[in-house]
Amino acid sequence: MSIALTPWPPALAEQYRRKGYWTDVPMTDILTRHQDERADHRALVCGERSWTYRQLEQDAEQLAASLLQLGVKSGDTALVHLPNVAEFYIVFFALMKVGVVPVNALFSHNRHELTAYAEQIQPTLAIVSSRHSLFTDGAFAQALSQQVPSLRHWLVDGDAEFGDSLAAAIAGTQAERAQLNQTDEALNWPVLSAAEVAFFQLSGGSTGTPKLIPRTHNDYYYSVRASADICQLDSDTVFLCALPAPHNFTLSSPGALGVFYAGGAVVLAAEPSPMTCFPLIKRHQVTMTSLVPPAVTLWLQAAADDRSALDSLQWLQVGGARLGESLARRIEPELGCRLQQVFGMAEGLVNYTRFDDSEWHVLNTQGRPISDDDEVRIVDEDGQDVPRGTPGALLTRGPYTFRGYYNSPEHNRVAFDQDGFYRSGDVVVMTEDGYLMVVGRDKDQINRGGEKVAAEEIENQLLALPEITQAALVAMPDDVMGEKSCAFIVTTNPKLKTLSIRKHLRTCGIADYKLPDRIEKVDALPMTHVGKIDKKALRQLIANQLQAQSQPQPEKDVLS
């Protein structure tokens, strides 16, 4: 059985095939294509461990074989929750080989997110890490298995008190390994159709429940190949993956998959701090990495002391949130590498500044689309196209932009227009020469330095407290993060403490980055003339308040 998918209209699908975007080759090809001349080239480094392309493919094959033995089958789904470790990619390729479709949750996700994903996809299998506090024992695994009865198998990376060992499933027995090594087609892998869903990407979202984005082999592989090409990757590329591995930026823009496709090497970092990353860059002679703007600020601070570790770094990609021009301008002189801006979304469309672009374009724009067939419309409030240079809402469709969230017919009716254009929720300006500048947002989301928080999701959790009668989460400006979140609440209990609200949100099991950075109690929320909460007024209110607080206080008159 295959995973339900809103298909592209046949005429567009035909066009994407005719133009060579969709090749009907499954993404397992990203590794298998290197099994001849590049098999012994370094593919992956994680701590003290490293893999050649041959070893990576063998590990993925063995894990795939072990999964078949467990009884999972093509068309099943899996919940994957791993940190930035090599096993993330081994699992990714193994699941693709057997046609099991995963949701790759972020490691910062918690009970609330994992439960929401599992309820949506009804997985047969979960692959998790005992490094996460949720899985130091089997309590949550047991609870989730009860709540989602399809969930029969648990594979655990690390010391497993519950489930089976992921390491053992990758290693296989000696006899199994020997058998895999003997023949080219050692096992009868299910025949994969590249038109089908390869995995679910995570939506940053603006709704109460996090939505899932089905990505097919055909559409995703095209974005990977085209990105590798635009970023001129080759077998000398050494990419440091420091942002979360499942994120669309680090996975495919061009990300680890782009680097594997080109035959280069991926080095994993646990997180993007200079303390972690600088030594890795030096040790492995990293040539390229991708960061969100707040991490760039930290890197600039650290490089001011000593930037010798960055000598090999040629390209820094920055995306996920808006990069201010003044920060952008400092990158080349202070980090000694070139900047590429990347504006993308898990739903599809990705834009890059190009290597031969003018300095102005690199510093001031978020690039232009990957494909000639990315159709971009910028419209006003009435849905009419605006002239170039005028801000408007960005709508898009194309060979790697999805056509519908998984099992969400109602939301899809608002998320797409009648011609199948996805409403990205971004407000952009297109320059005369077709470059995009992100100038705002018309979706109810906070972009916390690249991490996306759907306002409604947190508001629902706040409203679960009986003492809170109204709640609104809005963005507030922050020097480093760009934006942080502020919750305005109306409460019947004047003594309700911020601390107990936070405690409540923690017990709901939501990811830490979604916790409001600030909570403001108000008597009433401002309303628009159509009776909706006036979030614009709230954003203004908190921005003014922050500005007033940052003004120097008038000196006290010592005599009074």
The least distance separating ligand OOB from the CB of residue 249, rounded to whole angstroms, comes to 4
Residue (321 or 468) nearer to ligand OOB, CB? 321
Q: Shortest approach of ligand OOB to residue 393 CB, angstroms?
A: 11
**In angstroms, rounded to a whole number, what is the distance separating the alpha carbons of residues 425 and 196?**
27
User: CB 251 → ligand OOB: shortest distance, Å?
Assistant: 8
Q: Is 319 exposed, middle or buried (0-12, 13-18, 19+ CB in 10 A)?
A: buried
CB of 396 to ligand OOB, least distance (A): 10
Question: What single DSSP character describes residue 84?
Answer: S
Nearer to ligand OOB, 26 or 450 (CB): 450
Percent helix, percent strand, percent coil in the chain, to nearest 5 = 35, 25, 40
User: Contact, 339 vs 367, CB < 8 A?
Assistant: no
Q: Report the alpha-carbon distance of residue 309 to residue 554 in Å, rounded.
A: 45
Phi, psi of 432 (to 5 degrees): -55, -35
Residue 130 or 253: the one with the smaller Cβ distance to ligand OOB is 253
Is residue 172 within 8 A of residue 66, CB to CB? The reply is yes
- Relative to beta strand 153-157, strand 125-129 is parallel
For ligand OOB, the closer CB: 172 or 272: 272
Q: Between 51 and 299, name the residue whose CB sits nearer to ligand OOB.
A: 299
3-state secondary structure of 88: helix
> With respect to ligand OOB, which residue has the nearer C-beta, 74 or 248?
248
Whether the CB-CB separation of 277 and 298 falls below 8 Å is answered with no
The single-letter code of the amino acid at 188 is: N
Nearer to ligand OOB, 56 or 262 (CB): 262
Min separation Cβ 482 and ligand OOB, Å: 9
Residue 325 CB, nearest distance to ligand OOB (Å)?
12
∠ Cα 555 557 560 (to 5°): 150
Residue found under tokens 């934006």: 483
Query: Among 107, 336, 148, which Cα is nearest to 243's?
Result: 107
3-class SS of residue 219: helix
In whole angstroms, how close is the CB of 366 to ligand OOB at the nearest point?
Answer: 4
Radius of gyration (C-alpha) of the chain in whole angstroms: 24
Q: Least distance from C-beta 254 to ligand OOB, angstroms?
A: 10
Report in angstroms how near the CB of residue 367 gets to ligand OOB at its nearest.
8
Nearer to ligand OOB among residue 97 and residue 443 (C-beta)? 443
Distance CA 21, CA 373 (A): 10
Return the residue matching tokens 């209110």: 541
Which residues lie near ligand OOB (CB under 6 A)?
204, 248-249, 253, 319-322, 341-346, 350, 366, 424, 426, 438, 441, 447, 452
Dmax of the chain from CA atoms? 92
Instruction: Tell me whether residue 42 or residue 81 sits nearer to ligand OOB (CB atom).
Output: 81
Burial 511-545 (b: 16+ CB within 10 A, else e): bebbbbbebbeeeebeeeeeeebbbeebbebbeee
Task: Give the count of beta carbons closer than 10 Å to the beta carbon of residue 30.
Answer: 27
- Report the residue number, 83 or 246, with the smaller CB distance to ligand OOB: 246
Residue 517: both structure tokens together = 């950075």
Residue nearest to ligand OOB (CB): 344
For helices 274-284 and 293-305, what crossing angle results, to 10°? 70
Q: State in Å, rounded, how far the first CA of the chain is from the last one.
A: 80
Residue 268 or 349: the one with the smaller Cβ distance to ligand OOB is 349
- Which C-beta is closer to ligand OOB: that of 302 or that of 342? 342
Map 484-514 to HEC letters. Answer: EEEEEEEECCCCCCHHHHHHHHHHCCCCHHH
CB of 447 to ligand OOB, least distance (A): 6
282: Cα separation from own chain's centroid: 26
Smallest separation (angstroms) from ligand OOB to the CB of 68? 32
In the block, residue with structure tokens 């699992």: 91
**193 exposed, middle or buried (CB, 10 Å; 0-12, 13-18, 19+)?**
middle
From the number of C-beta atoms within 10 Å of its C-beta (0-12, 13-18, 19+), residue 239 rates as buried
Using CA atoms, how far apart are residues 419 and 383, in angstroms rounded to an integer? 12
3-state secondary structure of 433: coil
CB of 319 to ligand OOB, least distance (A): 4
| Least separation in angstroms between CB 336 and ligand OOB | 22
Select 99 or 244, whichever has its Cβ closest to ligand OOB: 244
Closest CB 53 distance from ligand OOB, rounded Å: 25
Nearer to ligand OOB, 51 or 435 (CB): 435
